Amino acid sequence: MSKKVINVLVHTVLMVAIFMLFLPFLKSSDDGYNGAKVVEQPKVTESKVETPVETAVEQAPVEVVVEQAEQVVEEVTSTVTDVIADVEVAVGVEDENESALYSVVDGNKLDEHSYAGFKLYRNWCARCHGTYGQGMVGPNLADSLKVITEKEFFHTVENGKAGSIGSMPSWKANVKVMEGRDQLYAYLMARSDGAIGEVKPKKQ
């Protein structure tokens, strides 16, 4: 038997099988219409639709719910704090702790940081600028710090400056002065701001 004949037989068998499969449908005279039927509407009963969150809350122990709520509050609080900090930076508001160069109590008691600046001033600066920064051979530093920046102050201390009366020496070779410039600045700012008067400072 040739291959062509085999193919014809296979196709014929398939055609017959398909015909037999659809024969019951072809014999039926029913067009699929069975007449109108009354369909009763299902009664709608009121029922509470629970959300996944409510279901989880009901199923979870009270301690777990409280802990999750605290975590949410903490995250929200942290986010709000970060946003407030970003806004303050954007508008130029500084942290009070960062902006506090010094602390003065009872009119003459300095914090440790600015009191160290006083000792540096007494040892290296008072001979020219006066006991309380009021000026002598050198200018009144309490007044000078009202018009110069911290950066300008540090630059002058390090490199010196020629004045109309005399010259401010460079202190870059003095390790103690260079390491304590920020302490010295804090003490003199307390003087400049009037937080401490013309009295001898004490340590808090």
What's residue 15's pLDDT?
77
**Residue 188 · residue 125 · CB < 8 Å:** no
Give me the residue spans of the domains in the chain. 52-91, 104-203
CA distance linking residue 128 with residue 139, whole number of Å: 8
Report yes or no on whether pTM surpasses 0.75. Answer: no
pLDDT score of 83: 47
Radius of gyration of the chain measured on its C-alpha atoms = 46
Q: pLDDT at position 86, please?
A: 55
Q: What's the confidence (pLDDT) of residue 93?
A: 44
Specify the pLDDT at position 77: 53
> Is-contact 133 119, C-beta < 8 A?
no
pLDDT tens column, 165-197: 678 899 999 999 999 999 999 999 999 999 998
Per-residue pLDDT of the chain (204 residues; tens, 9 = 90+): 566 666 667 667 677 766 676 666 555 555 555 555 555 555 555 555 555 555 554 555 666 655 665 665 566 455 545 545 554 554 444 444 445 899 999 999 999 999 999 999 999 999 999 999 888 888 999 999 999 999 999 999 999 988 766 788 999 999 999 999 999 999 999 999 999 988 999 999
Evaluated on CA atoms 172, 176, 177, 179, the torsion sign reads positive
Rounded to a whole number of angstroms, the distance between the first and last alpha carbons of the chain is 119
Say what the pLDDT of residue 2 is. 60
Fold of 104-203: Cytochrome Bc1 Complex; Chain D, domain 2 (1.10.760)
Distances in Å between the Cα of 22 and the Cα atoms of 109, 116, 201 are 108, 106, 112
